[in-house]
Amino acid sequence: MNLSELLQEEFIELNMQATTKEEGINELSSLLMSKGVLSNEKAFIQAVLMREAECTTGIGMGVAIPHGKSEGVEQGSLCFGRSQKGIGYDSLDGEPVHLLFLIAVPADSNDEHLRILSQISRKIMHTEVRQQLLKAETTADVYAALS
């Protein structure tokens, strides 16, 4: 399954308000919760933040890919958010995050999140993909960049 198939339109937020890592994770988690992907938002957020405590998922180039495996996740999902202002994220390069991909997977799933993480990483290594995502005005623009 490619990224544009996995990322549903209702899981795209092009105008994130968050200014911190925790706010960014909470903002996208709330979106997943509102669409029924999460049964326990608090447990999922805790799983994501525990993962962040091990090592930041702010990989640099304005990108972060937080992810969590939790009993609070009903179905594996991918959420994308963009912040024009930038989010303070403790990224590896020290720069703010503008593109945030949040991966949610059920606790009993195998390595689904690793496959998704790998797909995102390969895609966003290309400068033109990041630029397209930064300039996207619609969800269709996001799909075009990720396809």
40-59 pLDDT per residue, tens:
999 999 999 999 999 999 99
Q: Does residue 146 carry a pLDDT above 80? A: yes
Between vectors from CA 144 to CA 60 and to CA 100, what angle results, nearest 5°? Answer: 30
Instruction: Indicate which CATH number applies to the domain containing 55.
Output: 3.40.930.10
Residue 110 lies in domain:
3-146
Characterise 122 by phi-psi region: left (phi > 0), alpha (psi -120 to 50), beta (else).
Answer: alpha
Mean pLDDT of 56-70: 95
Q: How many domains does the chain have?
A: 1
Mean pLDDT (the chain, rounded)? 92
The whole-angstrom separation of Cα 103 and Cα 80 is 9
What's the pLDDT tens digit per position in 89-141?
A: 999 999 999 999 999 999 988 876 678 888 898 999 999 999 999 999 999 99
Residue 76, classed as helix, strand or coil, is coil
Mean pLDDT of 51-70: 95
Q: What is the pLDDT of residue 106?
A: 92
Q: What is the pLDDT of residue 93?
A: 95
pTM for the whole structure: 0.94
The whole-angstrom separation of Cα 44 and Cα 33 is 10
Q: What is the pLDDT of residue 116?
A: 82
The whole-angstrom separation of Cα 37 and Cα 25 is 15
Q: What is the pLDDT of residue 136?
A: 97
* Residue 67 among the catalytic residues: yes
